[in-house]
Amino acid sequence: MAVKRISIEDFLELAKTNVVLDVRSPSEYAHAHIPNAQSLPLFSDEERKVVGTAYKQLSRENAIKFGLDYFGPNMRKMVEKVEYLSKVSDSKPHTSKKILIHCWRGGMRSGAVSWLLDLYGFQVFTLEGGYKVYRNWILQQFEKPYNFKIIGGFTGSGKTPLLFGLQKNNQAIIDLEGLANHKGSALGGIGQEAQPSQEMFENLLGMELSKYVVQTQIFLEDESQRIGNMQIPMAMWHNMRKSLVYFINIPFEERLDYLTKEYGKQAKSELVTAIMRIQKRLGGLETKNAINYLLENNFKESFRILLKYYDKWYEKGLYNRENSEELIQKIECQIVDNEVNTNILMKFII
């Protein structure tokens, strides 16, 4: 057998059913990687630094010798790990011995591991151009003219559950807040896992987009460009801003009750910290009042202040788009009820 170098398109197609090995260093992988790829570093972070320094200051040959010192003792462990991964990865059985490998540029690191696994008997494919080519492919996904449809509504309208209600009705969706591990407001990070790096967020988002042809109607939640610390890529953001918005209009008190139930069970300390993050925009007096209500266990009145603030800013952003009157379709709903509101929305989109 011989190692085959393949394009990013062929690589990602094979990746759907075969093991993908990222042989970059642990820190490179931790920062961002191809979703579902397994980390199999040729070098530790420190070893990579030593080899890289030798390459720059001494010679390519010296760098390879240093690399062999690190690589040699680990060969057996690497083979055994790949044997295990080739049988079961992410609870999905792999029925072949096809192994996909990439490093940063498709150079010596992927070459060395590919040689070893090919020698052992695996059918090995390496990514032409490495992770760098993958990143270029990801960025290209955001430039495509996807057919987005936006689910809008003031804070507390239950827009995220509504997205999944649409999915149950066979509609294509992308959960931006789920990918970002953040619900979008000052309170949006409470109870969530740590956000990924911006690069990893883009990788996850680009892979989701790639599942659909551009003609497919894809539903997204109306977001500001920033979700916590994540930024929606500019080209995609512009596309969203010129897409049709289905605005779910629910009375203020209904939304307030929903938010109170949703966040009233959270720790006061986290809620106070979240409110302090927006104190400059909320204003000193309203910040003080919102926090005092919390300390008095009056969550509803605290959230009333926050909801009025978010309604004002959301409405400003809602209409701050070209042809807003033509793009915004208001849908009146009386309560925050996912099943009821999904049924109402489906009448407008079919």
Pairing assessment for the beta strands 88-89 and 230-231 based on DSSP bridges: unpaired
- Tell whether 105 and 171 lie within a shared domain: no
Task: Check 12, 15, 54, 103 and give the catalytic one.
Answer: 103
- Tell whether 196 and 321 lie within a shared domain: yes
Q: Which of 332, 282, 329 is nearest to 307 (CA)?
A: 282
Looking up residue 30, the CATH number of its domain turns out to be 3.40.250.10
- Per the annotation, the verdict on 333 as an active-site residue is no
Amino acid identity at 12: L
- Tell whether 154 and 269 lie within a shared domain: yes
Pairing assessment for the beta strands 217-221 and 172-173 based on DSSP bridges: parallel
- Tell whether 215 and 186 lie within a shared domain: yes
- Tell whether 306 and 285 lie within a shared domain: yes
Task: With a cut of 70, list the residues of the chain below it in pLDDT.
Answer: 1, 88-96, 350
Domain end point (choices 138, 166, 198): 138
- Tell whether 55 and 37 lie within a shared domain: yes
| 20-72 pLDDT per residue, tens | 999 999 999 999 999 999 999 999 888 888 888 888 888 888 888 888 888 88
Domain end point (choices 100, 120, 138): 138
Looking up residue 236, the CATH number of its domain turns out to be 3.40.50
Domain end point (choices 106, 138, 170): 138
Q: How many CB atoms are closer than 10 A to CB 53?
A: 13
Query: Which residues are within 8 A (CB) of 323 and not within 5 positions of it... i.e. 6 or more apart?
Result: 242
CB 107 within 8 A of CB 101: no
The pTM assigned to this predicted structure is 0.91
- Tell whether 205 and 325 lie within a shared domain: yes
Q: Assign 3-state DSSP to the chain and report helix, strand, coil percentages, each to 5.
A: 55, 15, 30
- Tell whether 90 and 163 lie within a shared domain: no
- Tell whether 21 and 44 lie within a shared domain: yes
* In the block, residue with structure tokens 């896992």: 193
- Tell whether 85 and 149 lie within a shared domain: no
Can you read off the two tokens belonging to residue 312? Answer: 């004002």
- Tell whether 315 and 178 lie within a shared domain: yes
Domain of residue 335 covers 144-349
Give whole-number Cα distances, 147 to 236, 242, 342, in Å.
Answer: 11, 10, 20
Give whole-number Cα distances, 67 to 2, 29, 82, 235, in Å.
Answer: 23, 19, 20, 41
The pLDDT value given to residue 96: 54
Dihedral pair phi/psi, residue 20, rounded to 5°: -110, 125
Give whole-number Cα distances, 158 to 154, 225, 243, 247, 328, in Å.
Answer: 9, 19, 20, 12, 18
